[in-house]
Amino acid sequence: MGEINTRVTLCGITLDNPVIPASGTFGYGYEFAELYDINCLGTFSFKGTTRDPRFGNPTPRIAECTAGMINAVGLQNPGVERVIAEELPRLATCFHKPVMANVSGFSVEDYAYTCERLDSEPQVGWLEVNVSCPNVHGGGMSFGTSPEAAAEVTRAVKRVTTKPVIIKLSPNVTDIVAIAGACEEAGADGISLINTMLGMRIDLRTRKPVIANKMGGFSGAAIFPVAVRMVYQVAHAVKIPVVGMGGVSTAEDVIEMMLAGATAVEVGAANLIDPFASKRIVEDLPAVMKKYGITKLEDIIGGVL
């Protein structure tokens, strides 16, 4: 076997490896930088950022489940102006690679404003646009549940940005391929999936939902097979790169996601269970590649037979 090469190129930017901590599980990076050198990562997707500050949902907002968790944090964040003024300068002291900016919004104007502000930040490499948010002007259904709404957000963001735009899709839909196709047609540079599924737990003693919000995002190892299936479907239907996520917790999972068609792979809930999870996956990758006769990771993208 030749020299092991873990590099991948995502929307024109080369990553040392495809491992990316997912938004909402890695803060703005510097908290994890106190534990290890986060420059070992391909990049990371920072906390979902909105136009205005958000306090988030009432507590309790986390519930444990078999092989996973449910959360309804509610996009708690300080708002885009403070992220630019405070979080990004602090991040620049400990992370020296392009970072993925995760953006959420409740109207098309929200998305466009926040993306335009972040687009001018030199450290931002990609804009990961989360269309799983409720559309306040559209009756509360998420932008990501209809091809038309997802395409409208994509077009609005592409009009005001110069950096690669990756649309992050919700799995809580009937036909994820149609939505991914609409985003590609509207100019998306990549597709990111899957966001959390919708889950619920009930406390047997109180007979009430465990989470104050009743339902929340279900993530963790339990959703991995669903994520692999959706990544496979979308990657085979679009020509733009796919970032795969959903229950990824080992280097083997990364390889499996890439075989399904992912160019890069995000690690979410695993970071909340073990803060060193992403570092461990990066370190394990070369040995796992060797085990399966892979010398160059880029060669296996979409390589499922």
Question: If DSSP codes are grouped into helix, strand and coil, which group holds residue 281?
Answer: helix
126: tokens are: 């990609």
Q: What does pTM read for this prediction?
A: 0.96
What is the extent of the structural domain holding 86?
A: 8-300
Kindly state the DSSP code that residue 22 receives in the 8-state scheme.
P
Per-residue pLDDT, 304: 95
Residue 63 lies in a domain: yes
Per-residue pLDDT, 61: 84
Residue 168 lies in a domain: yes
Residue 110 lies in a domain: yes
Maximum distance among all alpha carbons in the chain?
60
Residue 1 lies in a domain: no
pLDDT per residue as tens, the chain (305 positions): 679 999 999 999 999 999 999 999 999 999 999 999 999 999 999 999 999 999 888 888 888 888 999 988 888 899 999 999 999 999 999 999 999 999 999 999 999 999 999 999 999 999 999 998 777 677 667 899 999 999 999 999 999 999 999 999 999 999 999 999 999 999 999 999 999 999 999 999 999 999 988 988 999 999 999 999 999 999 999 999 999 999 999 999 999 999 999 999 999 999 999 999 999 999 999 999 999 999 999 999 999 98
Residue 3 lies in a domain: no
Please give the full DSSP string across 35-84, using - where no structure is assigned: TS-GGGSS--BPPPB-SS-B--PPSP-EEEETTEEEE-----B--HHHII
Count of domains forming the chain: 1
CATH number at residue 114: 3.20.20.70
Based on the residue annotation, tell me whether 133 is a catalytic residue of this protein. Answer: yes
Of residues 11, 115, 133, 183, which has the active-site annotation? Answer: 133
Residue 88 lies in a domain: yes
Per-residue pLDDT, 1: 66
Residue 39 lies in a domain: yes
64: tokens are: 């444990």
284: tokens are: 């394990």
Residue 141 lies in a domain: yes
CA separation for the pair 103, 268 (Å, rounded): 16
